[in-house]
């Protein structure tokens, strides 16, 4: 009986031990899967490539390396941007110690111009349906050497750069050269067929599934991506990046510059107004930052300054509107030429109202201020100068006169009899200096 109880108790203990082992194994498996999946970082670049964009991507790469992300995914939709900023991003991606995947999305998006170079610098590239990539020919504008020789140099440099990227990651170098030299552009299906990209993914989840198990060369060795079931950590632009990105918009920078110039000028014309000067100073500082980031064309800036000078001269010099028309033409040309890159330019829908508003400001606001300063005072003591009056008590040389129906103490350089007319030539305290007015 005792042995039977012992056997039953031993079987029960064995079963419970098996159950505990199974549960423990399941926990270990789940824990290992969670640790194995890890997380992926995702950032979004929507708009022109600027130094702010380069800083944003550079910080994202550093964070992904520091936090041990399985990879960094850059969702991109860009019309292009500045070459220097693009080269900075390329160097950062090539030196990254974490796999970087560029995903052209959403549907209808594109990776044009600068976006092509950045995609070729990434470890892997994917595109969403109905997207396109291409048109990477470098373009120069006024203020730069646009001679045939210089354009050829810039183009050859760009071709060498993108072919080097293509060789590094095993992509289609021939198409990349055509994208630079001939500005060709292709759809996502053509890009996949030509070996320009690695995947077509309908969304981020689909992309993570396709990335799982892919081998990526990293630090001179192959790294296998483990992305299935990974936690997605999005890092949108914070307020600091957003402010810098907004004021780096060519339209915003242009308006800030005009607002700063007009505010400072109004304050100089009307000392003590304070608010226009403060607003103008802040706007001008922000504009200087944006213009430095965007790389301006000196000829465009000089044309805008020349336009302001024309507006001022048009107020003081009778020109039958010629100076004002010259100022409008100069400002429109300068606004169109202000930025070097064609992808980063001021919109005509912003230029036209801005030019009209600036011309109106100088013609009316500044013009009225100048006329007020040049107009003879009509109130206060200075308003009495030049007024006529009548002697009430004989001036010999002191006496009293009536001016504007008021009795004033007065002094004259000669004796003037009562009833004679006098003219005020000065005011000293409460005493008028007068002289006889001949009939």
For residue 183, being part of any structural domain is answered with: yes
Half-sphere exposure of 103 (CA within 13 A, CB side): 27
For residue 359, being part of any structural domain is answered with: yes
Residue 375, pLDDT score = 54
48 and 197 together in one domain: yes
For residue 218, being part of any structural domain is answered with: no
Going by C-alpha positions, the residue among 357, 293, 292 that lies closest to residue 331 is 357
Query: CA angle, corner 343, sides to 337 and 349, nearest 5?
Result: 65
Distance CA 251, CA 349 (A): 10
- Given 153, 168, 189, 242, the catalytic residue: 153
The pair of structure tokens assigned to 134 is 């291409």
For residue 188, being part of any structural domain is answered with: yes
Q: Which of 240, 269, 301 is the last residue of a domain?
A: 240
Catalytic site includes residue 153: yes
Q: What is the side-by-side strand order in the sheet with 231-234?
A: 199-200, 124-127, 100-104, 72-77, 39-46, 231-234
* Domains contained in the chain, number: 4
264 and 401 together in one domain: no
174 and 305 together in one domain: no
Residue 344, pLDDT score = 66
For residue 288, being part of any structural domain is answered with: yes
For residue 226, being part of any structural domain is answered with: no
The torsion defined by the Cα of 146, 53, 132 and 183, in degrees rounded to 10, comes to 10
Q: Which of 178, 211, 240 is the last residue of a domain?
A: 240
Q: Which residues of the chain have pLDDT under 70?
A: 1-37, 139-147, 295, 315, 319-320, 341-344, 365-383, 439
The pair of structure tokens assigned to 287 is 């504009």
- Given 55, 92, 105, 113, the catalytic residue: 113
Catalytic site includes residue 421: no
Asked if residue 358 lies in contact with residue 258, where contact means CB atoms within 8 angstroms, the answer is yes
Helix or strand or coil: residue 180?
A: helix
Q: Which residue has the tokens 């079987």?
A: 11
Mean pLDDT of the chain: 82
48 and 100 together in one domain: yes
- What CATH code is carried by the domain that includes residue 391? 2.40.50.140
Q: Which DSSP string corresponds to 134-156?
A: E-------TTS--SHHHHHHHHH
Q: Measured on CA atoms in the order 181, 185, 190, 193, is the torsion positive or negative? A: positive
69 and 123 together in one domain: yes
Q: Show Cβ contacts of residue 236 under 8 Å, excluding neighbours closer than 6 positions.
A: 43, 44
Residue 87, pLDDT score = 93
The pair of structure tokens assigned to 251 is 């339209």
Q: Which residues of 87-126 are buried (b: 16+ CB within 10 A; e: fewer)?
A: bbbbebbeebebbbbbbbbeeebbbbbbbbbbbbbbbbbb
Q: Which of 240, 263, 287 is the last residue of a domain?
A: 240
Residue 51, pLDDT score = 84
112 and 255 together in one domain: no
Query: CA angle, corner 59, sides to 135 and 63, nearest 5?
Result: 125
- How many other CB atoms are there within 10 angstroms of residue 425's CB atom? 14
13 and 75 together in one domain: no
147 and 48 together in one domain: yes
Half-sphere exposure of 35 (CA within 13 A, CB side): 6
369 and 392 together in one domain: no
For residue 191, being part of any structural domain is answered with: yes
For residue 12, being part of any structural domain is answered with: yes
48 and 20 together in one domain: no
Residue 205, pLDDT score = 94
* Domain carrying residue 21: 1-33
Asked if residue 264 lies in contact with residue 279, where contact means CB atoms within 8 angstroms, the answer is no
Q: Helix crossing, 51-67 with 83-94: angle to 10°?
A: 10
Q: Helix crossing, 148-169 with 173-181: angle to 10°?
A: 160
175 and 292 together in one domain: no
Residue 167, pLDDT score = 93
155 and 53 together in one domain: yes
Q: Show Cβ contacts of residue 175 under 8 Å, excluding neighbours closer than 6 positions.
A: 184, 186, 194, 195, 196
């Amino acid at each position: 009986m005792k042995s039977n109880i012992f056997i039953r108790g031993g079987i029960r203990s064995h079963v419970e031990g098996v159950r505990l082992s199974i549960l423990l194994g399941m926990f270990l498996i789940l824990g290992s899967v969670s640790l194995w999946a890890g997380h992926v970082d995702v950032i979004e670049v929507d708009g022109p490539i600027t130094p702010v964009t380069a800083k944003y991507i550079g910080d994202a790469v550093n964070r992904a390396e520091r936090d041990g992300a399985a990879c960094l995914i850059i969702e991109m939709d860009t019309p292009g941007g500045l070459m220097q900023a693009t080269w900075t991003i390329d160097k950062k991606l090539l030196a990254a110690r974490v796999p970087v995947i560029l995903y052209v999305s959403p549907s209808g998006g594109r990776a044009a111009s600068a976006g092509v170079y950045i995609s070729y610098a990434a470890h892997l590239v994917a595109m969403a349906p109905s997207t396109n990539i291409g048109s990477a020919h470098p373009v120069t504008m006024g203020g730069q050497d646009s001679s045939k020789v210089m354009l050829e140099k810039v183009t050859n440099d760009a071709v060498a750069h993108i072919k080097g990227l293509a060789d590094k990651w095993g992509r289609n170098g021939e198409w990349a050269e055509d994208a630079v030299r001939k500005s060709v552009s292709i759809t996502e299906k053509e890009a996949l067929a030509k070996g320009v990209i690695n995947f077509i993914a309908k969304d981020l989840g689909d992309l993570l599934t396709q990335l799982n198990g892919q081998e990526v060369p990293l630090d001179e060795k192959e790294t296998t991506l483990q992305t299935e079931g990974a936690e997605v950590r999005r890092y949108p632009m914070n307020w600091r990046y957003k402010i810098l990105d907004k004021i780096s918009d060519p339209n915003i920078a242009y308006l800030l510059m005009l607002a700063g110039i007009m505010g400072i000028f109004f304050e100089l014309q009307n000392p003590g107004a304070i608010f226009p000067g403060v607003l103008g100073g802040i706007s001008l500082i922000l504009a200087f930052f944006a213009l430095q980031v965007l790389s301006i064309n000196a000829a465009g800036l000089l044309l805008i300054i020349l336009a302001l000078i024309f507006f001022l001269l048009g107020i003081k010099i009778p020109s039958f509107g010629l100076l004002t028309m010259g100022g409008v033409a100069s400002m429109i040309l300068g606004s169109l030429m202000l930025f070097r890159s064609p992808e980063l330019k001021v919109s005509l829908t912003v230029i036209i109202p801005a030019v009209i508003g600036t011309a109106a400001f100088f013609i009316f606001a500044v013009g009225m201020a100048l006329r007020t300063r040049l107009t003879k005072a009509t109130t206060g003591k200075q308003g009495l100068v030049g007024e006529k009056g009548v002697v009430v008590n004989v001036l010999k040389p002191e006496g009293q006169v009536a001016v504007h129906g008021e009795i004033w103490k007065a002094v004259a350089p000669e004796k003037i009899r009562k009833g004679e007319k006098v003219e005020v030539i000065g005011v000293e305290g409460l005493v008028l200096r007068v002289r006889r007015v001949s009939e």
